[in-house]
Amino acid sequence: MTIDCCLITTNAQSKLPFLEQCVASLAPYTDMFTQKIMSVDLFPDGVFLDWYDRFRNDGWTVLSKTVAPRGSITLNQKRVIDHARSDMILYVEDDIRVRALPKQSTIEKIFTQGIIHGKKAGFVCFNTHVFKHFTQNPPHVIDAICNLDNYI
């Protein structure tokens, strides 16, 4: 089972420290990834694309496109995911710092064996702030999110 790391970011000066922290937090896991792919939305007042050479030199594929007036983040997500060629994707945004990832053998077990209430996982979310974003969803969705039995 292969895993590609897919990261999205922008060239906004204010985002660069977060991006550097994010990439540094992923460094202990780079052997786990078949590819490391970064997609950059380019704003006219942001840093030049050559700033990202530091990541290219560290094995990242860096994709870029001028920011679109509408739907830019979605297009950035699609661009990075379209370039993935692995069985699985670790999707990360530039303001995330990864404290720990499961061992690859654990990840494979989660997706291939029925260990979660007899079911295989199809999607794993490490997002810890979902509760504040799910107040307008139908009650059954909120119940599923808030039910801690649905988590490993």
Mean pLDDT of 67-85: 89
- The predicted pLDDT at position 130 comes to 47
pLDDT in tens, 11-47: 999 999 999 999 999 999 999 999 999 999 999 999 9
pLDDT in tens, 117-132: 787 777 776 665 444 4
- The predicted pLDDT at position 131 comes to 47
CA distances, 43 to each of 9, 15, 40, 70 (Å): 11, 12, 9, 13
**Does pLDDT of 50 surpass 60?**
yes
- The predicted pLDDT at position 135 comes to 55
**Does pLDDT of 6 surpass 80?**
yes
CA distances, 98 to each of 38, 95, 128 (Å): 16, 10, 12
Q: How far apart are CA 16 and CA 51, in angstroms?
A: 10
CA angle 33, 36, 40 (to 5 degrees): 155
